[in-house]
Structure 1
Amino acid sequence: MHKKTNRISRRDYLKMSLMATGALAMGGFNIACNPLRKQKLNIALIGGGGIAKTAFADCKNENVVAIADVDDITGGIGFEAFPNAKRYRDWRRMLDAHYKELDLVIVSTPDHTHFAATYAAMERGIAVHTQKPLTHNIWQARTLREAAHKFNVQTVMGNQGHNFEGMRLIKDWYDAGLVGEVLEVHAWTNRTTENNANARLEFPAQPIPETLDWNLWQGPAKERAYNKTFCPQGWRWHWDYGSGGLGDIGCHTLDIPVYVMGLGYPSAVYMDNSLDFRQEFDNKIPNVEGATYVYEFPASGNRSAVKVYWYEGGRMPKFPKEVYAEIPEMKKAIATGGCMMIGDKNTVLSPSMRPVKPKLIYNWQEIEQTPVEKTTPRPVGNPVKEIIAAVKGDIDKCGSNFDYAVPLTEIVLLGTIAIRSNKKVIYNPESMTFSDSSLNCYIKEPVRKGWEYGEGLI
């Protein structure tokens, strides 16, 4: 921890009180006796605008005590929503001032600052909700998974589709054998990874807005001059800060096959830009920077090896003829993104980035009339509701907790390494190294002085 203190936190005080009354169960914390169960949680927001808005409704039922945002304009949305919350620009000062009373921190910042903010909360014993992708590099992801166990805190990544009913339905269909053996999965998005093109451009220095602390916004990233292209919205398309279209959407859409089929780490990831069937779908041409990725996952248990294809920038897979006959509303959703799992018995089609309204292509009306048993456990709600329930002890843990979210994040990041390097990526997850040692530089990137977190944990 960057600032040591001997002050007893609210959580530790409550636990000690329980121990004094004998209410702390032997061998672990007794959920039924959780002192937070009937209390409002004390929550801090790191990032008060943008995607943070999706947490506001659930936070209003709790106690938001502080908000940190480096930008007075974007953060102003959160400041207005929670006028009684104390305001900060530097989340490090906020945590130092409030950590003893906090039960949960919600991190909604650009990708490059996810890790530092999340780790800083966890090492103070605070539960965390962090937006996707969980981290900016593989070392950060692994360190957060280890930290979750070391500091014994509840965790969740904000890939909202993981909690959708559609995700559970697809798993029910797959587990019931309706889909059969799946050898191919196709996922796509209309987002374009422009990061490689942007890396070749010069972005001249521009005046820094008075409402923005540019130094804090850069955080651990290497220092560079401000340009409005980066902030507040364009950061995702620059490797220093974001992870492109795959980083933006992959943790949503690739979550479907990873969760449903139990995919582990891929044996290889590479680019194959010869694969694109967009013109067959609607006669449109993809963006120049559009790309196609191929993931090869080895066989595991009773599951055969499977290839997962990721198309972006308007590229699309080749669909069964039944898809081309879909109603215009469905085709419009498919054009924005989706996932298709091709089995030897049926094919799952899930339009849009998240599994909002999935279906089986063949015999769908019959399947709708005689649905399979719902054997997959259902979540209590979206990831914010879920982490609140986990902290209060109403559930054991969140679905996209860091044990699950870290491998999913790594899968996404491996694809970004493939497009950045234009090399075949063969990854050893045990050693966190690549067969091509020139790629090892992508495992962990240097950080600016004062932003070192988690060193030596793994």
Structure 2
Amino acid sequence: MPSHPISRRKFLAASALAASAAPFVRARAAGEPTDKVRVAVIGVSGQGAYSLGGVAKEDVVALCDVDESRATAARKQFPSAKFFTDYRKMFDGIAAGIDAVAVCTPDHTHAHAALAAIRRGKHVYCEKPLARTVQEVRLVTAAAAEHKVVTQMGTQIHAGENYRRVVEIVKSGLLGEIKRVHVWCHRRPNAGKKLPAPTPGVTFDTDVWLGPTPQEFFYANHPTWPHFHWRWWWGFGGGTLEDMGCHFMDLAHWALDLTSPTLVKATGSPIPGAENTVPEKLQVEYQYPARGSKPAVHLTWYHGETGPALDGKTTYKGFPDGVLFEGEKGQLVANYSQLQIMPDAFAKDFKAPEHSIPNSVGHHREWLDAIRGHGRPLCQFAYAGPLTESVLLGNASYQSGKELAWDAARGVVTNTKDANAYLECHARKGWELV
């Protein structure tokens, strides 16, 4: 990113912060100690409601949502929490009374809300993806390292038992050397053509919802657009890859210790008749370098079909979404809840290794416990940053129409400089991050 590059050294500098966090103890007004964390939640419906459940046993001191009509249930559940429609006003007013923040807004405001919290020294849980652009990812990750806050990205499946068993198998070496991985998700964007023009009756502040994104179009009063369909339009989201890539590619990144790719090439097809929307189907080739004694890895992402091929002809029964590890000795295919060893001749005598990764206490609980000085979150931003970056590079390749040679150390595409524009945050006035 030419204007504000952030080096890989700074990008990965946060790797041990959570483990070294000081024990968290706060005094009650009456003088008695408490280990309850004072949490603010930004975005309290939809996925935000799920996060509220994850922090419900803490001291929820603030709720923030641009749409008051969607915040009724949360306000009823936490009547003593202060309510805001603008997180900037929340921080201006009661920042001193907040220890930690959960960011559950649409993708295009993740970085802005997270940085507002981190720069005030607040611990942050941020839903996936960590940000909408690579530049934003690096700013957030560097800030978390600088301010030594405890972080967790909301890829909740990272806490799932099945993922942990898969990681144990892959890391054990029982499948042999792994150089090839396929990752697929059947979901297709369902936005299609632009929605009908909005009519009067908008119930919330569209300026705050838009945040950094220029107002080219915005259907504030549509029942689903500001709460879900935004993800199918550039400027707000990044389609199926940005929406689901951090979940499924997470397994490969974790099991194989992947960080940043060196080459990324995407091909896809747009939604017929659509305007400015994300691809209906997409295939992305990622080349990851060798890591110590581990070989280079070729990972392919596919979305829009129920298997690892955009023609729909390659499927694995029971795995409409999945991750396939091709080892020299055997193969493993997995999704959120199940795994299968292949081929049958190899699976017949296969014995899984002893458990080496403890089952999670819960994705939010990992973060909250680490704030108190116990353990560390496994999806902290030092890990989640390179994962999100890989996902976003796939979209940048599609948008630019070019294969990208990625220099992670410098944070730039080296073979086609015009593609760097797709990695930067082009914020409207008043919403600049740097």
Q: Same fold (TM over 0.5)?
A: yes
Q: How many residues align?
A: 393
1: CA distance between counterparts of 2:323 and 2:287? 16
* Equivalence for 1:217: 209
The equivalent of 1:239 in structure 2 is 234
**Structure of greater relative contact order (alpha carbons < 8 Å, 6+ residues apart):** 2
Aligned to 2:258: 263
Instruction: State the shift of 1:207 in Å.
Output: 2.6
Per-residue deviation at 1:264? 2.2
Indicate the residue corresponding to 2:273 in structure 1: none
Q: By how many angstroms is 1:272 displaced?
A: 4.6
The match for 2:381 among 398, 402, 407 is 402
Does 112-121 or 302-311 show the bigger shift? 302-311
Report the Cα distance in structure 2 between the residues aligned to 1:270 and 1:82, rounded to whole angstroms: 47
Change beyond 3 A, Cα 1:29–1:108: closer
Tell me, yes or no, if the aligned pair for 1:294 and 1:310 is still in contact at 8 Å: yes
Query: CA offset at residue 90 of structure 1?
Result: 0.5
- Aligned-pair CA distance for 1:380: 2.9
Which of 308, 319, 326 pairs up with 1:342?
A: 326
* 3-state secondary structure, aligned to 2:280: coil
Q: Give the letter for the 1:98 counterpart.
A: I
Q: How many angstroms apart in 1 are the aligned matches of 2:349 and 2:47? A: 39
1:133 and 2:125 equivalent? no
TM-score by length of 1: 0.80
**Cα distance, 1:365 vs. partner?**
6.2
Amino acid in structure 1 at the alignment position of 2:305 = G
Identity %: 31
Corresponding position of 1:430:
409
Task: Render the CA deviation track for 1:150-208: whole Å, top value 9, x for unaligned.
Answer: 1111111001111212222112112222111112111111222578xx6xx66664135
Partner of 1:441: 421
Structure 1 residues 299-332: Cα deviation after superposition (integer angstroms, max 9, x where no partner)? 22222222111111125226xxxx9785xxxx2x
CA drift at 1:218: 0.3
Whole-angstrom CA distance in 1 between matches of 2:26 and 2:101:
19
Residue 307 of structure 1 corresponds to: 298
The Cα of 1:442 is off from its aligned counterpart by 1.4
Change (3 A) 1:132 1:84: same
Deviates more, 1:69-78 or 1:118-127: 69-78
5+ residue gaps, structure 1, are 1-27, 275-286
- Cross-structure match for 1:226: 218
Task: Give a deviation string over 1:260-297, Cα, whole Å, max 9, x none.
Answer: 001121121113569xxxxxxxxxxxx99212111111
Judge conservation of contact 2:189–2:240 (CA < 8 Å) in 1.
Answer: yes
- Residue 136 of structure 1 and its aligned partner are, at CA, apart by 0.6
User: How many angstroms apart in 2 are the aligned matches of 1:102 and 1:208?
Assistant: 36
Aligned pairs for 1:251-400 within 5 A:
251-272=246-267, 289-314=280-305, 316-317=307-308, 326=317, 331=318, 334-335=319-320, 337-351=321-335, 355-362=336-343, 363-364=346-347, 366-367=349-350, 370-382=351-363, 384-395=364-375, 397-400=376-379
Return the letter of the residue paired with 1:235. W
The code of the aligned residue for 1:66 comes to: A
Does the CA-based 8 Å contact 1:183-1:307 persist in structure 2?
yes
For the pair 1:411 / 2:357, whether they are aligned, the reply is no
CA contact (8 A) 1:56 1:81 kept: no
**What is the CA RMSD across the aligned residues, in angstroms?**
2.6
Q: Which has the higher helix share?
A: 1
Give the C-alpha shift of residue 29 in structure 1: 5.8
Contact 1:207 1:226 in 2 (8 A): no
Counterpart of 1:149 in structure 2 is 145
Alignment TM-score, normalising by the size of structure 2: 0.84
- Alignment match, 2:7: none
Aligned CA distance change for structure 1 residues 364 and 35 (closer, same or farther; 3 Å): farther
Q: Quick check: which has more Rg, 1 or 2?
A: 1
**1:183 match:** 179
Match of 1:71 in 2: 67
Q: Deviations over 1:310-358 (max 9, x none)?
A: 111125226xxxx9785xxxx2xx12x111111111111113xxx3222
What does residue 452 of structure 1 align with? 432
Task: Say whether 1:81 aligns with 2:77.
Answer: yes
Range with bigger deviation, 438-447 or 152-161? 438-447
Runs ≥4 in structure 1, deviation > 6 angstroms? none
Shift of residue 30, structure 1, vs aligned partner: 4.6
Tell me, in whole angstroms, the C-alpha distance in 2 between the residues paired with 1:61 and 1:288. Answer: 41
C-alpha contact (below 8 Å) 2:331/2:342 kept by paired residues = yes
User: How far is the alpha carbon of 1:108 from its aligned partner?
Assistant: 0.3
When residues 184 and 82 of structure 1 are mapped into structure 2, their CA distance, relative to the original with a 3 A threshold, is same
Check conservation: 2:189, 2:279, Cα contact below 8 A. no
